[in-house]
Chain A
Amino acid sequence: MMIFSITRPLKRSFNHIVAAAALLCMGSVADAAPERVISTGHSITELVLALGAGNSLIAVDSSTRLPAGFKKVPVIGYYRQLPVEGMLAQNPQLLIGGEHMGPANTLTLLENAGVKIVKLPEAENGEQLIANIDRLSKVLEKPAAELTKNVVAQLRELKRARTSLSEAPRILFVRAQEGRGLKAAGTGTSPDSLIRMAGGANAVDFSGYKQLSDEALIELRPDWILFSSDQDAQLQGGAALLEWQPLLKLTPAGKNGAFFSVDGFALLGGMGLASLKEAKKLNEKFSGN
């Protein structure tokens, strides 16, 4: 159908313009940097902006927080449940997102409409983050040298800071609900990557988020307790945790009031630039202890 509309003689000037615009949007992006980009996933949008492609960003998903003062762009919903028509209405050339972007049906329809789709794997470590930056810089046709250099420097700095810790502190990342106990983040979660990057050892060794029994808390002896910044107000910087879970007072973290609120956006969609910053902050806390 696309070929058909190209070969058809265009009769009216109005149609001419519309068709030309449509073709421009559908055409290959190999020869020119994409000008209309939708980015989903906070850590990915962060990279897009860091690469200097903010001007071509036309829409983001609901998990993205744009920096204060950034132009207002439409929010197209949750990255696992992207609406086809809502996205097509933005007239995008390129859609960038994590590996969990979907549903598959939406992506197929978008591809049929000529939108280029780039799925990046969730970065679990520094090398994967740098690989993602490389891939993005090629797709967006923006130089990556400066950003890569910056990230490499941050990673090196983190590595040095990790080795300078005399021993790895035991860290517990919790999600709390009043009266419902604590859920802790085990292996294979974003908080776990963050803890390891900052030089800590996760106090729990199960996988995923699991409910903790009250007594296990004492047994785990966490030196630091972390929670996401969206719970910061609710937990009153950790004071509420001690109230809800008095047994916590018996742990090293409870005794020292060693609570830390982690930027929630650093925990979404794998490792990103915000995660590096949070890891650095965490590491400074650990070494100051």
Chain B
Amino acid sequence: MEFRLSDKSLLPALIALLLLGSCISLAVGAMTIGWRDVLAGLMQWSWPGILDQDVPEQYALVLGEIRLPRLLLGLIVGGTLSVCGAVMQGMFRNPLAEPGIIGISSGAAVGAGIVLVFGGVLSVWLGAFYEKLQWLLLPAFASTGAIMATWLVYILGDRGRSVVMMLLAGIAISALAGAALGMFAYVATDTALRDMTMWQLGSLSGATWTSVLVTGFIFAISAGLLWARANDLNALLLGESDARHLGVDVIGLKRQIIVLNGIAVGAAVSVSGIIGFVGLVVPHIVRLLRGPDHRYLIPYSALLGGLLLTVADTIARSVFAPAEMPVGIITALLGAPFFLFLLWQQRQQIF
């Protein structure tokens, strides 16, 4: 039973859904704003005075400084996690691979833990300088942790030659990171402990224009570079020696994937915390709908990942309004049943 869709139906459908999801995300929130005012508020915010009417200042602020950056951050983070997941699964030829499994997320979590738990010590060390650097410390440490974990996995995996070694090293590093986090939790004050838990739950509420620009820039470059290697990734699906015979620089490809993934996931995780499941589920859904060709898998994953995270975030911040819940819970609730349904429908085809 073939259940594949062609580009003709899939691409317009995805883009339409993405636009619809974005509009809903902009229109829904704790503050009730009619759709006319949403448009007016956005126009007023982007170009004050463009309209001949007065829009309440609050609307322009909520739309331009809160909802819009949050929507964009959701699209970017969802896209980043999904593309990284798709490429990881391709590289490891393992359907369970995702940024979490080779230790990238854990590395980032350790980096963040250092800042959250030992921030007090750091502040003594750096003195007044700390106040100025505070906003940068968490993202910087999380990214550094992610890149270091990836680098370690890469070195242990014989510089990317052995996929099995890399997977095993990733699991070992995740365990090590878990131990480090447990150690931090043990010595942490209870306030630092709560900060750490909150951070690990993952949320898009930290969206600012700076974070959108930084993650967006990194996402565009890394996803573009990975997409450019789509044909090589396809060859890699045949097996490493086959790919080598087809003229693919396998080791160079793996190096590139690992470095780009480390940077992109580090950047995404440092602004949003750990949002699980998107990187695992989205590429699978796209493979089931469109097939495993990386030329399509990568862009479709970016679109679908952005859509899933945006919808999840809209639900997360409006169901319990005025309070919010962590978006990671919603991504799992939305993604998992759909994934199971697709798996069930395709069971003969996969195994």
Contact = CB atoms under 8 A, between A and B. Distances in A.
B133 interface: no
10 contacts: A15-B53, A74-B322, A77-B320, A77-B322, A83-B30, A88-B58, A89-B31, A89-B321, A112-B61, A207-B189
B56 A86 contact: no
Contacts of B208: 105
Nearest to A38: B322
A88 B187 CA distance: 37
Contacts of A143: none
B62 A85 contact: yes
Contacts of B61: 88, 109, 112-113
Interface in A208-253: 208-210
B60 A103 contact: no
Interface string A89-111: 11100000000100111100100
A202 B264 CA distance: 48
Contacts of A87: 30, 322
Nearest to B44: A1
Interface stretch (B14-22, B190-198, B235-243, B249-257): B190-198
Contacts of B49: 4, 8
B95 interface: no
- Best-surrounded residue of B54, B190, B205, B206 (most CB of chain A within 10 A): B54
Contacts of B30: 83, 85-89
Given A19-B56, A85-B29, A80 B322 contact: no
A26 interface: yes
Contacts of B323: 62, 75-78, 83, 86
Nearest to B322: A86
Given A86-B324, A90-B322, A113-B61, A103 B206 contact: yes
A103 B116 CA distance: 13
A19 B54 contact: yes
A89 B32 contact: yes
Given A113-B61, A208-B189, A85 B54 contact: no
Given A8-B54, A74-B322, A83 B317 contact: yes
Given A2-B57, A4-B49, A100-B191, A88 B31 contact: yes
B65 A81 contact: no
B341 interface: no
A180 to B, nearest CB: 14
B66 A84 contact: yes
Nearest to B188: A208
A270 to B, nearest CB: 11
Nearest to A209: B190
A22 interface: yes
Nearest to A103: B206
A74 B323 CA distance: 9
Contact of A83 (B189, B195, B322): B322
Given A11-B53, A59-B322, A85 B66 contact: yes
A5 interface: yes
A207 B205 CA distance: 32
B54 A15 contact: yes
A15 B242 CA distance: 69
Contact of A84 (B54, B135, B205): B205
A77 B198 CA distance: 12
A151 to B, nearest CB: 25
B294 interface: no
Contact of B190 (A4, A75, A103, A208): A208
Contact of A88 (B62, B195, B205): B62
Given A90-B322, A100-B191, A189-B190, A85 B56 contact: no
B284 interface: no
A75 B322 CA distance: 7
A81 B189 contact: no
B65 A83 contact: no
B48 interface: yes
Contacts of B58: 22, 25, 88, 91, 113
Query: Closest 9 A-B residue pairs measured CB to CB?
Result: A86-B322, A77-B323, A89-B31, A86-B30, A89-B30, A15-B54, A83-B324, A85-B30, A76-B322
Nearest to B65: A109
B150 interface: no
A22 B317 contact: no
Interface string B289-323: 00000000000000000000000000001001111
A18 interface: yes
